[in-house]
């Protein structure tokens, strides 16, 4: 299978390789109700307010109502372009790449506090958005806010066993997938540049996205 394990050396695709694995895990049937049975609410925090950690598009397009928004740091996971996109930023034959959280390091992102009354609705929305093909897993993890508080937040991390998981790719491979990727949400290169621009606005450094954004100009 042409994808990398996070513990293996970086993937080096042969020159003729233009795509990614075409074996899919079908979207879970039954929508939010089915997902709620698989991931019951006790998995996502105690009764009361909900904290949600965003590291990609959730940072600027959360899609849910929140009462607080802070920059925070998640340890043990790093932001990485490590998920093959077959729909939004690519196709099965010409996949793009979108962000995921891979093991190791740390990640600075945006942490949202959702009021208790909107908690169940927000969880259902996020599961519909993030768990369509189950390339992401839902976990609870500690996050340190920049104001010094420590909270437990809902986080979506990559499943390294999933065929859409790309692992750690070299710079040239990243560029190749990003340049070719185009899906129903637009060009992959726009996704990368937009993400980097928002990180700059938040004062969050990301050397990989900075280099890619420069090379995509």
Q: Which residues are catalytic?
A: 130
Distance, in Å, from the CA atom of 138 to the CA atom of 155, rounded to the nearest integer, reads 6
Residue 209, class by beta-carbon neighbours within 10 Å (0-12 exposed, 13-18 middle, 19+ buried)? buried
Q: How many CB atoms lie within 10 A of CB 61?
A: 10
Query: Locate tokens 């895990």: which residue?
Result: 25
Inter-residue contact 177 to 214 (CB < 8 Å):
no
| E-only strand ranges, 23-179 | 50-54, 68-85, 96-114, 136-145, 150-158
Give the Cα separation of 212 and 207 in Å (integer).
9
Q: How far apart are CA 117 and CA 170, in angstroms?
A: 44
Q: How far apart are CA 113 and CA 151, in angstroms?
A: 10
Distance, in Å, from the CA atom of 192 to the CA atom of 210, rounded to the nearest integer, reads: 9
Contact predicate 154/50, CB 8 Å: yes
């Amino acid at each position: 299978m042409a994808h990398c394990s996070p513990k293996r050396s970086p993937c080096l695709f042969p020159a003729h390789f233009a795509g990614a694995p075409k074996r899919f895990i079908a979207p879970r049937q039954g929508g939010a109700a089915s997902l709620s049975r698989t991931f019951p609410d006790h998995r996502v925090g105690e009764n009361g307010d909900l904290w949600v950690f965003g590291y990609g598009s959730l940072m600027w397009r959360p899609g849910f109502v929140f009462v607080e928004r802070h920059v925070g740091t998640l340890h043990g996971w790093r932001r990485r372009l490590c998920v093959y996109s077959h729909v939004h930023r690519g196709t099965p034959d010409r996949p793009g790449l979108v962000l995921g959280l891979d093991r190791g390091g740390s990640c600075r992102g945006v942490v949202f506090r959702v009021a208790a009354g909107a908690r169940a609705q927000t969880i259902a929305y996020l599961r519909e958005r993030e768990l369509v093909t189950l390339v992401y897993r839902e976990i609870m993890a500690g996050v340190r806010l920049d104001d010094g508080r420590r909270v437990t937040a809902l986080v979506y991390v990559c499943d390294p066993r999933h065929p859409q998981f790309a692992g750690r790719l070299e710079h040239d491979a990243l560029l190749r997938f990003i340049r070719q990727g185009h899906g129903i949400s637009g060009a992959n290169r726009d996704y990368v540049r937009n993400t980097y621009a928002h990180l700059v606005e938040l004062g969050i450094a990301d050397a990989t996205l900075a280099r890619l954004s420069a090379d995509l100009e």
